[in-house]
Amino acid sequence: MVLQQATAALLLPLYIGFLSPAEFGIVALAEVLSALLIAVLSLGTQNAVTRYWIEWDAEGDAARPTAAVWWITIAAALALTLLLQLFGERPLGALFRAPGFDAYLPLVLWYAFFTALTQLPRALLRIREQARAFVVFSYATSLGTLLFNVLFVAVLRRGAEGVLIGNLLGAIVSALACIPVMRGSVRPRWEPAAVRSSLRFALPLVPGAFLDAAVRGFDRWVLDKFVPLRVLGLYSVAMKVANLGLRTLMLTGFKTAWLPFAVRLNTERPDGRERTALLAEPILLVSAVVAVATVLFAEDVLVVLGDGYRDAGAYVTLLAVANLVMLFDLFAWVGLMMGGRTAYGTVAVGAQLVAAVALNLLLVPAYGATGAALAALGSTSALIGVKMYYAQKTYPVPYRWRRIGVLMLTAVAVMALAGSLERAYPGVSLAGFGLKLVALLGFAALAAGLALPGLRAAAVGELHEGVAP
């Protein structure tokens, strides 16, 4: 996931340089639709293999049931894709109002098909703990997608269609690369018991995955109904810029290391709760500095990459604040996991869904893309508010909320200052850049004064040496 987001970050300058905002809007809608299709076409069988592979391996031959489940997934995904290809153009096209979007549906559909086929092999590499093979597979497939995009977007100048063709060819390469990954599971086999148990486990998860994709894409779906395609493209660029730091580094990369460490810390140490609370402050410090830097310099970066995207900077602040709120998910999951109440996570997602639907339908017609950014902040706040409430109720951790509150409010104030600096020093100017750098360094110094005592108190050496028994 980190590598996929890194690839997206590398592709962003390419898209800004060679696509108009309206074309970027087409790409954004294609991403929304493909996420929904992948959730359905994969059948969730990657979750079933994650659940049952160890049991199958203990019985002596995990390749046979894995092959059966994979081929059922391929057959079902192919049948659904062909049905949608033949009869789905009108209903799928009716979901979006963007002019000419219907012409791109086949590319989106087959991209989703080939991407869905890779979900189970990726899960298999993880469950086998084949880290080197997983890295090689991920790098190879990401590089293919990157090169195909460069060819069709920068060299052949195919615009939005070039992006979708490049993504489709990258997905085909990924699917072909799954053949050596599956090894003994490539030959079709029939294991009815394994297939039945896997589908019983996996299919109930599909609606949840579909709803998750729907929540993440609902803002762009609503924007498609109320704003020009150009504005939708600008908003989508703002989302990608806001996500570059926090989403890629903290909410994806760091989270995979933090949660196992935090669970072990709270399991093996009698003072685990106190240390978790103290460690939260330096984590929030780094995240707040990243968020502030993103907002302060977003418009400068956009102007340098492509002047037509400068207006996207207006939406970055609210989206970056939403990401900063989302960071508390790192701590909410610690409480839910240690308290044994992970089901409350589903309750929180339900609150997020209700808030996202209500706020987007209320705010977007009146305020356009700014309304969508406000809705993103509001729905994220609903998710984290409900999740943290239940986390603290089931497994209280003594976070120092006053310090955290001061840190977060200071970060938001500095982000708000970025707007004033942009108005005072429009475009890229040495004076404006210098003032932004001073603001960033000043915030970092103030935040460090608030958060670093927590890091020292938590004995930072244990992060490197492991938790002492």
For 424-460, give the DSSP string: HS-SS-HHHHHHHHHHHHHHHHHHHHHHHHHHHHTTT
Specify whether 153 is located in the same domain as 52.
Answer: yes
pLDDT tens per residue across span 402-417: 888 988 998 888 888 8
Q: Are 138 and 1 in contact (CB under 8 A)?
A: no
Q: Is residue 435 part of a domain?
A: yes
Residue 116 predicted with pLDDT over 90: yes
Where is the domain boundary, 209, 236, 267? 209
For the ranges 65-74, 187-196, 275-284, 364-373, which has the lowest average pLDDT? Answer: 187-196
Tokens of 296: 């302060």
Of 209, 240, 275, which one is at a domain's C-terminal end? 209
| Measured torsion, CA atoms of residues 119, 125, 131, 135, in degrees rounded to the nearest 10 | -40
pTM: 0.86
Nearest to 47 by CA among 167, 204, 162: 204
Boundary-marking domain end, from 158, 176, 209: 209
**Which of 77-86, 95-104, 132-141 bottoms out in mean pLDDT, i.e. has the lowest?**
132-141
* 448 in a structural domain: yes
Residue 464 lies in a domain: no
Give the pLDDT confidence score for residue 454 in this predicted structure.
54
**Same domain? 196 vs 294:** no
202 within a domain of the structure (yes/no) = yes
Residue 1 confidence (pLDDT): 52
Indicate if 275 and 403 belong to the same structural domain: yes
Q: Look at residue 342 and give its three-state secondary structure.
A: coil
Could you tell me the maximum CA-CA distance found in the chain, to the nearest angstrom?
A: 70
pLDDT band at 153 (very low <50, low <70, confident <90, very high): very high
430 plus 352 within the same structural domain: yes
Same domain, 197 and 250: no
- The reply to whether 62 and 163 lie within a common domain is yes
| Tokens 């839910």 -> residue | 336
Are 194 and 73 spatial neighbours (Cβ–Cβ below 8 Å)? no
Q: In this structure, is residue 221 part of a structural domain?
A: no
The answer to whether residues 90 and 140 belong to one domain is yes
Residue 468 falls inside a structural domain: no
Q: Are residues 53 and 152 in the same domain?
A: yes
The total number of structural domains in the chain stands at 2
Q: Are residues 232 and 137 in the same domain?
A: no
Q: Is 33 helix (H, G, I), strand (E, B) or coil?
A: helix
pLDDT at 398 over 80: yes
**Encoded tokens for 46:** 């990657």
Question: Between the CA of residue 258 and those of 51, 194, 253, 307, what are the distances in Å?
Answer: 22, 34, 9, 39
Shared-domain flag, residues 295 and 197: no
Q: Are residues 305 and 257 in the same domain?
A: yes
Best-predicted range by mean pLDDT among 117-131, 172-186, 208-222? 208-222
Predicted pLDDT at 463: 43
Q: Is residue 55 part of a domain?
A: yes
CA nearest to 29, candidates 306, 319, 313, 223: 223
Band (469; pLDDT cuts 50, 70, 90): very low
- Regarding whether 341 and 198 lie in a shared domain, the answer is no
Q: What is the span of the domain harbouring residue 340?
A: 227-456
Task: Decide if 446 is inside a domain.
Answer: yes
Q: What is the mean pLDDT of residues 136-158?
A: 89
Spatial separation of the C-alpha atoms in residues 49 and 70, rounded to whole Å: 9
Question: Which of the two residues, 420 and 81, has the higher pLDDT score?
Answer: 81
Contact 38, 115 (CB under 8 A): yes
Inter-CA distances, 262 with 266, 272, 325, 336, 464, Å: 6, 8, 19, 12, 13
Angstrom CA distances, 353 to 21, 211, 260, 403, stand at: 28, 8, 28, 30
Q: What is the pLDDT of residue 465?
A: 42
Average pLDDT (24-44) is 94
Q: pLDDT tens, 317-328?
A: 999 999 999 999
Q: Within 10 A of 267 (CB to CB), how many other CB atoms are there? A: 10
